[in-house]
Structures are given as C-alpha cells and as structure tokens.
Structure 1
Amino acid sequence: MKIALILNPYAGLGGSVALKGSDGVAQQAMEQGAVSKVAERVKLALQDHLAVLRQHHWLTCPGNMGATVLADLGIEADTLALDIADPSTAENTREAARLALQQRAELIVFAGGDGTARDICAVVEQQVPVLGIPAGVKIHSSVYAVTPHAAGEVLMAVTAGGLIDIREQEVRDIDEVAFRDNRVRARHYGDMKVPQLGQFIQHTKSGGVEVEELVLQEIAEFVVEQMEPETVYLIGSGKSTAFIMDCLGLPNTLLGIDAVLDRQLLQSDLTEQDILSLCQQYPVRVVISVIGGQGHILGRGNQQLSEQVIRQLGKVNIQVIATKTKLKNLQQRPLIVDTGNRELDLSLQGQWEVLTGYDDYAWYPVETY
C-alpha cells in the first residue's frame, strides 16, 4: 500500500502559551517558549505497529514535515520534491498533498489541527481517503482520529486488508482571530473521505444489519442518480448489477454487458470491439460486481473488459459494487483481478473503493496471484 505522511510541525504551538491556536502565531508561540509536540504524536500513532507499517511504501515531505520522524522510526520513505519554507507554510502543506496525489498515494495521513485539515482538503477533496492524527489546539473536524493511538489502530486495520467503511466527513475550522476575542465562529470548508473504525474516529455513525436485496436496490438507485448526461455506462454481468437495469426499467443481459446512455439502452450484450468503439465516441464508465465466494472483479465473466479496454478506461472509471455481506463472506480474502496481463494486474493492486450502499463506500484490497 502506498501511504503519504504530511506533518504540520507547528500545529498546536499556541496551546501551551494560551494563544488559542497556531494560525499565524507560530513564531510568537516559539518566542514564548512553546515546543512542537507533533513528531511525538505521530510516533505515538505509529510506534506500536512498526513491523507491519515498514512493509508498505511510504511517501513523505523533507525534514520536520515527515522525513525526520519516519527515519527515527526506521520506516523507509520516498521524499517528495518539496521546497519547505522556515517555518513551513500552509502552501507547503497544500503542495505536499498535490505531490502525494501525483505519486498516486492511496491514503494520506496527516498530523495537525483544523487549519491543516483545511489545507489538505483544499487539494485532496474526495480523491483519496485521508486520516488525521490530532496535533492541534482545536480539533473540530471529523477527519481526525480521537487520539494518536486511535489513528494507529485505524491505520493498522486499513493495512490489514479487512473490510473498512469509507465515509465523507466534515472539515471545520474556527476563526482564531474571533476566537481570541471570545467569539466562536465556525465554518464548514468541505468534506474528505475517511476510513471508519468504531470509536476511533470522531463523529462516526453506526449501521444496522443489512437486508441484502434492499441494499442492492439502494446501490442501484444511487448509481442511477449519479449518472451523468452524454456518458455511456457499461453495466456488467451478474445479479447485483441487474438491479441497476431494473431500476432504469431496461432489459438486462444477465451474463453480458449492456450500454446505457442518458438512462436509455444504447446497446445490449457488447463485445470487446463494441466497447472500444464506444470509447472513441463517448466518455465511458463501467459498473461491475464481485463474484460471490470467489472475489473476482475483472477477468471472470466479463472478459469483454479486456486489457485494452481497461487501459483505455483507467481505474478511475471502474466502479465496483457489492453488499457488505458479500465482502464479509470473503473472510478477509482480497478481491481478485485476472485480466491475462500480469503487468496490468499488478498495476491494479491496492485499495479500491467499493460502493456498498446508498452513497456508502467501503475500502477493500484488490490483488492478483
């Protein structure tokens, strides 16, 4: 797994010297004797799990924005090409996030406060999941774990390859200038996707026992609602995806792939060449399901999605759907890709977002053998 670590080394400095935050006052805080605790909090999050975490591919920033703390922990990392100001700035954080996305990080772990979360959100939005290690004076955003140790527990669960919910959580920040004048003025700055693990993440919601058929109907309704005009949607084979065609009121090829354009049937039972032809005419997205008990998503029952088709579409245009019951029945075995091209299969490995309900996603590993 490719994980990016970004630290705001000046987060929380204002707390110990009663400045009620650190935005714009880091230098003043240090002059009053404040000492950064960010690296310590990151170590608290990671130190109990080093044997596992060292097995993953890490990206980080130079110096005290990440490289130093990972070196102290014996975690090897690639350093992002980032010129850091002294002291580091919000723009340094945003640029680090941009570089992490360019390097295809699958998870961005960051340490700081609400201001840091704002900077990460301004760049990342909902592109990849994030996990915050709390290190600021104020933590109102629900993208943070409740404690550094809790962040480590979430990170371990994610890297273990189990079924982890992914939900959009709010980034909020208080106007520190107003706060220092005893006026609380909070604002919602956006949402990011955050892995969920029980009590370890702030403001999580708990779900009940799912009824699989109802969940498949909810998944279908959400897929249909999200369909964009003048875009072709390839609806893959299987009973799960059949619910989407039923929701549209369209005939379905149970063991084939159908093309839908503007919520109308464009073509039934497509071949590889049919799909490649559509890719030359329209934006194309595909919805596929998981083969129950086996976990295959590509290469079994949908060979029309060939190596050439998959390369043309790109992972970003492939949506996997499955109920949580189906994923749990895999008993932590990964989803499998078997396209016939080893290089392509290896490039598709990693954590994938699986649509598991109405606007409800889980993070699940995809591998090849």
Structure 2
Amino acid sequence: MQRLGFLVNPIAGMGGSVGLKGTDGVVEEARRRGARPVAPERARIFARGLDKRFELFTCAPPMGQQVLEDGDRSVSVVYSPAVPTTAADTVRGARALRDAGVDLLVFVGGDGTARDVLEAIGQDIPVLGVPAGVKMYSAVFAYTPGHAAEVVNSLGEGPCFEEREVVDIDEEKFRRDQLGVSVKGYLLCPVHRHLQPSKGFGLGGEEAKRALAERVVEDMQPGVVYVLGGGSTIGAVKEALGIEGSLLGVDVVRNGHLLCTDASADDICRCLGQCNAIIVSPLGGHGFLFGRGNEQITPDIIRRVGTDCITVIAAPEKLAGLDSLKVDTGDQELDAQLRGFARVLTGHGESKLMRVE
C-alpha cells in the first residue's frame, strides 16, 4: 500500500467549544460565537506522524494540500473545492481521490464527514477517519490523530479490512437534548486495535447510576463551582441535585444551584470561581473522558480547574466493557498529563483504578 488519499473537512468540530453540538448547517452561527477551526491542527498531528514512504494525493486548500505541504511533502492535487467549502466538496473530493487510484482514503472530520464519504464512494476503497468533529460515534475513526498515523504506517502489502458502521446523530434533536441515532451504512476500514468500537446507546443500570449520583452529591463541597459533563450517568447527578440540566450538554452548578445550562466554553469560563471541579463520565463504548461530546471543556478550562480536581464517575457495568479510558483534548501536552491512571467512582464507597491512554 503506497498511494494515500487525504481529505480535510476544514469546518469539522467548530461547533464543539461554543456549545452547538455539531457544525452541520450552523457554520456561520459557530463563527459568530467565536469558534475557531480545529480540523487543520488535528490534520497536522496526523501528518507529522505519517511515514515518508507514501505517495500522497489530496485536495487544494483548505481541504488538505496546505497541511501536507507544511510538512515539506510532495503531493498531487486532484480536486479544488469552492470557498467556503460545503458537504458537496467532501463528496466531490472523495470521488476524485478514488478516481486517482489511491489505496486508502484518510479523511479528517466527524460523523457528518463520514456520512458524506459514504455517499461519495461507498465501499469502493477502504477509508480511515481522523477524529476532528463534534460527533464521532461512527466506528470508522481512530482514537486520536496520532493513532490514525500509526494505523496507516502499519499497513503493509496485504492489509486486512472490515466493514465498520457509519452512524449519525440528528443535530437538531441533539441541540434539543434528544438523542436521535441512525446507522447510515458501512465503510471498509483497516483492522486495527486503534480504531474505536461501535458506540453502544443502551441506557441500563439505572439503579446503579442513581446510587452513584447520590454519592457524588454527598461529596460536593460548599462554594465549589462544578462543571458537569453530559451523558446519562452525569444526568443522574443533575437529577439528584434537583436541577433542570441538559442531558447531552455541559452544565455548571454551585451550592446545588444551576449557574449555566448547556454551557459553551466562554460560559464555563465566566462561571468559574476560586475553587472549581470537573465531573465527567467516560463515553460508553469508547471510554473517552475528554474530546468526545464535551469539547466545551477546553484544554484551557481543564488547566484552570486543575487536573487534580477532575472526578471520573461510571456505573460498574459501563466499566465492564472498557479496557481503558481515553483522552483526546486536542492538546498533546495536556493529554500526556492526563494519561496514566485515574480512580473512577462506581458507587457508595466503591471505586476502580483505570488506565488512561
């Protein structure tokens, strides 16, 4: 395998830090709220880890060429997108790369980008996703951009591929705190341990979640500002507090009162005080603590709160399906600080030590 296609969705992930839960159809609103592109830097992390042996094919700026040439690589450009880019450019770019005869198409984006790639080329050629979106529930993504480079570098002359599902969440429902998930189809992807598994959406274990939530509320201290991540486990904490928080967004509380619901990164910063804490639960199926679904909790916020003021909670049945926890904040230095081991609260007087990768 020598011919590699590379495609970047330059607007992927822009809605995350400003609390939009996605970028589909709301790019201008994301920009109005001060969102900055995140996909180009995620693409550069991937490119920096990529072996030099590959013959590279890509799209004109802002869809790939600028990233690869930053690394002093020789590339062939097969498609020039409109500016600003749209989903149609992803479709056309993917088809152009397929027609150029690449052995593998690497795309940088989220679930929406995966959906567009599926529409464009189906299973004509294998693909690999570099995670850069707000929503990344599909099983076609490597865990991190660095892992994506490792996957590509490991592919030899006879690589193994398998069908992996592309799912998408209805962003309009997502913004209304409803989870509407559908399987869009299947893409061919490399068989590798660094690809994230399919996301499980079952709730289950409600009694365990309630008991865990009671423990968390009992441990809360007066005057401390708590940044609460999303998901049903943290949702049980919000219910135990008696607040009308968001199920899928990030909320901020102090002394049992809601300071901000469905908060953006700027909202969180405004709420932080002298004593702060973050409470998160790993994303079911994937095990991510940061970087999936809670991009509002930015690296700057994590540093301001302090890594020693992060509490991880999870019901035992969720941890049973996870070998480790993962972080992908987009800040490699911070990720290194967060890796190691974390104590996960699982109930009254119960906890489990988990590796963080």
* Partner residue in 2 for 1:80: 78
Counterpart CA distance in 2 for 1:133 and 1:107 is: 13
Is this contact kept in 2: 1:117–1:171, CA < 8 A? yes
Distance 1:176 1:146, change over 3 A: same
Letter in 1 for 2:141: Y
Counterpart CA distance in 1 for 2:93 and 2:139 is: 21
SS at match of 1:64: coil
Q: 1:194 aligns with which of 189, 195, 202?
A: 189
* Partner residue in 2 for 1:120: 117
Alignment of 1:1-369 (within 5 A): 1-49=2-50, 52-53=51-52, 55-82=53-80, 84-158=81-155, 161=156, 164-198=159-193, 200-203=194-197
Counterpart CA distance in 2 for 1:202 and 1:81 is: 29
SS at match of 1:191: strand
TM-score under structure 1 length normalisation: 0.52
Is this contact kept in 1: 2:49–2:150, CA < 8 A? no
Give the CA deviation at 1:56: 1.8
Deviation beyond 6 Å, 4+ runs, structure 1: none
* Partner residue in 2 for 1:234: none
Counterpart CA distance in 2 for 1:123 and 1:187 is: 18
Counterpart CA distance in 1 for 2:82 and 2:159 is: 37
Is this contact kept in 2: 1:164–1:197, CA < 8 A? no
RMSD: 1.3
Letter in 2 for 1:13: M
SS at match of 1:15: coil
Counterpart CA distance in 2 for 1:81 and 1:138 is: 26
Is this contact kept in 2: 1:59–1:80, CA < 8 A? yes
**Which string of whole-angstrom CA distances, capped at 9 and with x for unpartnered residues, describes residues 237-296 of structure 1?**
xxxxxxxxxxxxxxxxxxxxxxxxxxxxxxxxxxxxxxxxxxxxxxxxxxxxxxxxxxxx
Letter in 1 for 2:67: V
Give the CA deviation at 1:109: 0.3
Is this contact kept in 2: 1:134–1:146, CA < 8 A? yes
Is this contact kept in 1: 2:106–2:127, CA < 8 A? yes
Is this contact kept in 2: 1:172–1:189, CA < 8 A? yes
Count of residue pairs the alignment pairs up? 197
Give the CA deviation at 1:28: 1.3
Residue identity (%): 38
Counterpart CA distance in 1 for 2:79 and 2:11 is: 20
Give the CA deviation at 1:85: 2.5
Give the CA deviation at 1:164: 3.4
Which structure has the larger Rg over C-alpha atoms? 1
Segments of structure 1 that go 5 or more residues without pairing to the other structure are 205-369
